[in-house]
Amino acid sequence: MRIRGLYLIAFSSVLLVLTFICYQLIQKKSKTQLNVSTADIKSILDESSLLLGNSTLKASIKVEEALVLSKAIGNTEYLIKSMELQSQIKNIQGDTKQSLEIYQRAFELAHKNNFPHELCKINIEIGKVFYNWGQYDTSLIYFKSNLHPLLLLLLESITVLKETLKRRWSIFNML
């Protein structure tokens, strides 16, 4: 057990150093000109998702890179997605407390910036954490809190679909 604790401390230290290095690189680039797009960040997150099954260390490094880049260009959506992935990694590593803290910060950010889809995903993940802790009533609260936003998203999708079908039908009738 003590060896595991030492391993976690070493791992955290490595991540801290890597984060600092990434931050320094971003600072240096931003002084010249930061040439990063959301596609770059999406690519990094996709890569870290693929790495997640094999190596949480490599996935962590990629997620840290995505976090730094998202902050640097001010992209809140990818910052939230990066935080979600970071929480998943922490959860896999067994650090569920820190995972929950990151999910809660991501939830606040998603709520503040009106990202209902991300709110739903985060609520489900928070509910899973509480469920795994055996706190079933608390997990149920998080799962139930998704019903209203999910229904709103469904109604919005149905409305868009309805309008699309109307336009296609009217074009078809014109022929």
Please state, for a pLDDT cut of 70, what percent of the chain lies above it.
73
Residue 90, token pair as written in the block: 């922490």
Residue that has been written with the tokens 């950010």 in this structure: 109
Q: Comparing C-alpha atoms, which of 9, 6, 7 is closest to residue 17? A: 9
7-163: what CATH class? mainly alpha
Neighbours of 76 (CB within 10 A): 16
Confidence at 1, pLDDT banded by 50, 70, 90: very low
Domain spans of the chain?
7-163
Average pLDDT over residues 31-44: 65
As a whole number of angstroms, the distance between CA 9 and CA 18 comes to: 14
Higher pLDDT: 81 or 21? It is 81
pLDDT per residue as tens digits for the range 52-77 = 677 778 888 888 888 888 888 888 99
User: Is this prediction's pTM over 0.95?
Assistant: no
pLDDT(2) > 50? no
